[in-house]
Chains A and B, each alone.
Chain A
């Protein structure tokens, strides 16, 4: 498995290089940040300032040279200059990555646990009222746009706060700017209070589709010969479900979860904007709207690494979940 892992990582490197070059070309040609700088300020900047800005962001260099300087710079920890002159892109990227990881990890964990629980329950109670209810909500959450659901949840959060006379549920940011009584416990509950709504928003979209996968997969496994054999051998139902059926049924979910990381990161763009979390999603929006080439590239590179990494993890999980699969 080690050889397989190393081989997969090595194959990923040229994929990353080619994809970043293509994206670099697209980003560089998607607008002119120098013209934007020259026209978006009042009073209009002097010619010296415009020239200095162009030099600062390397807009005076040929595209290929810029790409080469960028990619070699990244290898040395230099992520390139931002249109925001004092911004350290590397520091910004990893600070925001931590924020997004918190959100995405919490959302994925909740979505996975709920998806497995409800998916299995739905499969075991096929065509029951509970199954129909879970199916109904699954499709409802799938159909709802994230931004709309997020706004609705915010209103629900405010309503709960008003009814309880508290301010437990936060609608903006990862934490409050200050606490009246600054204790560790208060800080913990404050962070949890700010995590609830965006996590639910992000989790429910994935939960909806993952529940459907789990249900379908579980139904297929329950109908298989080896499960019937296990039951016929007199094994207890709980043991058959957990050791034999569920383990096999989780294989497709592992694939889907790994592949969905790109969708979840996409969902984080919207969630972070609405809940004003200063994570990777907000970074992409800011970079795109300010034509910040190197900041956009930093986002794309890290996202690509995460997606490739998760795909590799999914492949490796197959072997863990299914003893029949072996990598040479």
Chain B
């Protein structure tokens, strides 16, 4: 009996051990030649292919599960609290928008919604949208100018004002994520039975193509009118209370419960888990959905995504790439992937509230010159994406119309120690290379370099900066920030040097207002230059996009000379999907790869 028990124990031991060993060995691939990097999405990194790569004819059927990295609690993407990437992706499947940002950073008119959208006059700036005669919500109500009026009036910051102080719940009002552009509209009127929309601006708005779309789709006005008791088709006369009711409804209600207008309709939303979409038979658009089912699955831990992809629990993932994650995906058979350069860009910021950093431009220029971005790239993102290069602009990224490299020629980011030292010596700094002192004898530093704890890449960036500035005689201490404390540190100016990322926009002038202008909401380091303010304001009001970009670049040149923020590189983006599906593309703008879900399908 004892011998039998021992044999049993040995058998169990062996089986358990074998399973774990086999599992460990199997993680390196099953022997099937993997296709990552050789087909499908791999062609997306080829110049000029961003919008057409991974194309293919589809056949009906199949389920595609795509990962969302956060839950959705608030369904009004136009609201400041609902303005999340995941919410935008989930809603753009079912709600229409006029202009859609594409993978090459251009914006294209959505011809399913409007047959044309043009600027017909410059003074006053006049925009005319011709709505597709077939366009209708899936309850049969036509999409008309009324939907545009409702959008405008809830987003202009005036017709539906923020909640009053007396409202303890702070829910009785509208808090749009941005009023930019909508606050410049004088009127929105409909004609041709509501199928032509004419927008007249009070003040010109350069980025007019971001109105009524660009990741922030239209909601059905007739739904808001009905639930608030307003007259049907008369959004122009809805009261603030009625507009608020609609706004709140769309915050709380997933689009399973109201009329939508997309190739799919949302059939089910399971909070914190998944959304299920099925083809909408009422869809009038040129391309019909071919998948039997589209699922957006919430996976909040990016490191688990490759495992789920390998186990066929999901078919597409869009995580922030890291070396281990990319290597894991490379080893999955039947999966294709692409690493692209996104609109998110990494940068070092100096805190100009620091008396020394704020006072001496030459010091800041020297610090930026001593930093080697080449080293930073090589030791971080360059390990899995050799294409990453130094970024040369604060407002545009390569690939965007208007991008000019304004930084490299100044030597900033070159790691040229001799040049950096000369800048300091010329400015009468002493102790260069040993213990740096200002011309009036004050010690320079020690400065802290702050990064979000747990972010290995940013830790390495601070370490390289520490070493580079040490060569100038500037001591730097590295001080991590708690995972949830970045906001506290930025708003409280609790840093000398900080590394984090900004998201550029296909509409750069509105972004520039926030980030670079005096007192702008994102201008944490306290940069202020009257000329820059003036140029950005001009850019925002310039209706000619080329002239607007030129004005922004003029402002950018001044900012480069001021050495306030050193752009490092565009952060890589990473899309991986099973090769049996086609038409997914790496759209690294705010709309994400889900911008064309209607085209996704099983390869024929």
Residues on A with C-beta less than 8 A from B270 are 177
Question: Which residue in chain A gives the minimum CB-CB distance to B19?
Answer: A156
- Give min CB distance, A19 to chain B, whole Å: 23
Residues on A with C-beta less than 8 A from B510 are 43
Report the bound CA distance from A270 to B165 in whole Å.
Answer: 41
Residues on B with C-beta less than 8 A from A161 are 311
- Give min CB distance, B78 to chain A, whole Å: 12
Question: Which of B35-43, B98-106, B300-308, B468-476 participates in binding chain A?
Answer: B300-308
B161-191, CB < 8 A from A: 162-163, 165, 168-171, 173, 175, 177-180
**Once the chains bind, are A173 and B273 in contact (CB under 8 Å)?**
yes
Q: Which residue, B9, B83, B163, has most C-beta atoms of chain A within 10 A?
A: B9
- Give min CB distance, A29 to chain B, whole Å: 11
**Once the chains bind, are A40 and B80 in contact (CB under 8 Å)?**
no
Residues on B with C-beta less than 8 A from A278 are 272-273, 298
User: Is B502 close to A, CB under 8 A?
Assistant: yes
Q: Is the interface of A mostly helix, strand, loop or mixed?
A: helix
A18-66, CB < 8 A from B: 30-33, 35-46, 48-49, 51-53, 55-56
Report the bound CA distance from A179 to B30 in whole Å.
Answer: 27
Residues on B with C-beta less than 8 A from A12 are none
**Once the chains bind, are B170 and A36 in contact (CB under 8 Å)?**
no
Write the B42-75 contact mask toward A (1 if CB under 8 angstroms, else 0): 0000000000000000000001010000000110
**Once the chains bind, are B307 and A154 in contact (CB under 8 Å)?**
yes
Question: Which residue in chain B gives the minimum CB-CB distance to A169?
Answer: B311
Question: Which residue in chain B gives the minimum CB-CB distance to A47?
Answer: B521
Residues on B with C-beta less than 8 A from A30 are 482
A142-161, CB < 8 A from B: 151-161
- Give min CB distance, A161 to chain B, whole Å: 6
Residues on A with C-beta less than 8 A from B179 are 46
User: Is B529 close to A, CB under 8 A?
Assistant: no
**Once the chains bind, are A171 and B170 in contact (CB under 8 Å)?**
no
**Once the chains bind, are B490 and A177 in contact (CB under 8 Å)?**
no
Question: Which of B21-29, B435-443, B572-580 participates in binding chain A?
Answer: B21-29
In this complex, how many residues of chain B approach chain A with their Cβ under 8 Å: the count is 79
Taking A155-B23, A158-B26 as contacts, is the C-beta distance between A289 and B175 under 8 angstroms? no
- Give min CB distance, B392 to chain A, whole Å: 21
Question: Which residue in chain B gives the minimum CB-CB distance to A37?
Answer: B487
User: Is A325 close to B, CB under 8 A?
Assistant: no
- Give min CB distance, A13 to chain B, whole Å: 29
Report the bound CA distance from A48 to B524 in whole Å.
Answer: 18
**Once the chains bind, are A35 and B301 in contact (CB under 8 Å)?**
no
**Once the chains bind, are A85 and B180 in contact (CB under 8 Å)?**
no
**Once the chains bind, are B2 and A159 in contact (CB under 8 Å)?**
no
In this complex, how many residues of chain A approach chain B with their Cβ under 8 Å: the count is 69
A267-319, CB < 8 A from B: 273-276, 278, 282, 286, 288-291
Write the B187-223 contact mask toward A (1 if CB under 8 angstroms, else 0): 0000000000000000000000000000000000000
**Once the chains bind, are A41 and B177 in contact (CB under 8 Å)?**
yes
Residues on B with C-beta less than 8 A from A276 are 298-301, 304
User: Is A224 close to B, CB under 8 A?
Assistant: no
Residues on B with C-beta less than 8 A from A53 are 81, 170
User: Is B145 close to A, CB under 8 A?
Assistant: no
Residues on A with C-beta less than 8 A from B165 are 51, 55
User: Is B5 close to A, CB under 8 A?
Assistant: yes
**Once the chains bind, are A36 and B13 in contact (CB under 8 Å)?**
no
User: Is B485 close to A, CB under 8 A?
Assistant: yes
Question: Which residue in chain A gives the minimum CB-CB distance to B296?
Answer: A177
Question: Which residue in chain A gives the minimum CB-CB distance to B163?
Answer: A52
Of the residues B180, B307, B514, contact of A158 by C-beta under 8 Å? B307
**Once the chains bind, are B9 and A134 in contact (CB under 8 Å)?**
yes
Taking A38-B491, A39-B490 as contacts, is the C-beta distance between A290 and B274 under 8 angstroms? no
Report the bound CA distance from A14 to B529 in whole Å.
Answer: 58
B130-185, CB < 8 A from A: 157, 162-163, 165, 168-171, 173, 175, 177-180
Of the residues A44, A49, A125, A275, contact of B175 by C-beta under 8 Å? A49
User: Is B327 close to A, CB under 8 A?
Assistant: no
**Once the chains bind, are B80 and A45 in contact (CB under 8 Å)?**
yes
Given contacts A42-B502, A52-B173, A52-B175, 13 further A-B contacts (CB under 8 A): A39-B524, A43-B177, A44-B514, A44-B521, A55-B165, A86-B74, A129-B9, A155-B307, A171-B308, A172-B308, A172-B314, A177-B297, A278-B272
7 closest A-B pairs (Cβ-Cβ)? A44-B521, A36-B487, A156-B23, A48-B162, A39-B487, A35-B491, A56-B170
12 residue pairs of the A-B complex, CB under 8 angstroms, read A38-B521, A40-B487, A46-B157, A49-B175, A85-B73, A86-B73, A86-B252, A129-B10, A158-B23, A158-B311, A171-B313, A172-B304
Question: A-contacting residues of B (Cβ < 8 Å)?
Answer: 2, 5-6, 9-10, 13, 16, 19-20, 22-24, 26-27, 30, 63, 65, 73-74, 80-81, 83, 157, 162-163, 165, 168-171, 173, 175, 177-180, 251-252, 270-274, 276, 293, 295, 297-301, 304, 307-308, 310-314, 482-488, 490-492, 502-503, 505, 510-511, 514, 520-522, 524
